[in-house]
Structure 1
Amino acid sequence: MANVQMKLPDDFLLALSKLEGRTDEILSKALESGSQVVESKVRGNLSAVIGTGTKVSSRSTGELERALGVSKPLQDRNGDWNIKVGFSEPRSDGKSNAMIANIIEYGRHGQPAKPFLKPAKSQSRKACLEAMKTRLQQEVDSI
């Protein structure tokens, strides 16, 4: 049976051990960087579609735009890290922000769809990944 032995430089091993202790912190910062890119794109798309192309004047209160935000990065039971860009609840009128966003995104009878979430997802994907890679590299380099 073959036996393989690898010896790594001490400074590399030291950097790996420091990285191990700060993994949660570093991953959280990387996710937050990416979520800022996505949130700004969703916010811009939402502002562009609200009140446009309506037969009657817009009744928008701006509450949906104010409810848009980002959750804290959390680790699920499988060990995966997640962060969510979405709408906080409830609204002052008792309706759901998710319902209002769904109606705007997909439309309803007599109201055409005005997608803002799906285009934001596809338009911000590369920029989000680049922002997360850049932040991760900055954090690793600072060790």
Structure 2
Amino acid sequence: MAKANIKMPEEFLLKVSRLADQTDVILPKVLEVGGEVVLDKVKGNLSKVVGKGTKYPSKSTGELLSSLGLSSAKQDRNGNFNVKVGFAEPRSDGESNAKLASIIEYGKHGQPAKPFLKPARNSSRKPCINAMVAKLEEEIEKI
């Protein structure tokens, strides 16, 4: 049986070792940069559809748009880091922001759907990945 020894450069091994020690610090930063890209796209899409194309004058207060936000990066029980784009609850009138967003996204009887989440997810995928890759490379260079 053939045997081969490959020696990695010492500098590379040290950098990889330091990177492993810093993943809990780097990953949240990278995910939050990607989340900001998605959040901006969702906000833009939501502002375009709220109150547009209705039979009656819009009663929009802007509360749904202002409640849209990004969570900080948190680690779940499986060890995966996650950020979430979502709506803060509850509204001042007692209704649920998630319910209103769902009605806008999927429609209801007598109200056509005005999707804003799914198009935002699809159109922000590549810019989000590019932003996260750039941030990761920036963080790796600091090591």
Same fold (TM over 0.5): yes
Counterparts of 1:1-143 in structure 2, within 5 Å, are 4-143=4-143
Counterpart AA for 1:119: P
Matched AA of 2:41: K
TM-score of the superposed pair, with normalisation by structure 2: 0.95
For residue 22 of structure 1, give the secondary structure of its aligned residue in structure 2: helix
1:3: Cα distance to partner? Answer: 5.2
RMSD across aligned positions (CA): 1.2
Please state whether the residue corresponding to 1:69 is helix, strand or coil. strand
Secondary structure of 2:114's aligned partner: coil
For 2:122 and 2:16, how far apart are their aligned partners in 1? 34
1:4 Cα deviation after fit:
4.7
For the residues of structure 2 that align with 1:121 and 1:4, how far apart are their CA atoms?
A: 47
Aligned AA (1:75): Q
In 1, Cα distance between the equivalents of 2:11 and 2:67?
47
- Determine the C-alpha separation between the residues in 1 that align with 2:49 and 2:108: 15
CA distance in 2, matches of 1:43, 1:87: 11
Of residues 36-45 and 3-12 in structure 1, the stretch that sits farther from structure 2 once superposed is 3-12
Partners of 1:117 and 1:125 lie apart in 2 by 12
Q: Tell me which amino acid in the other structure corresponds to 1:60.
A: S
Question: Quick one: distance in 1 between partners of 2:27 and 2:4?
Answer: 33
Count of aligned residue pairs for this structure pair: 143
TM-score normalised by L of structure 1: 0.95
**Unpaired runs of at least 5, structure 2:** none
Distance 1:85 1:129 in 2: 16
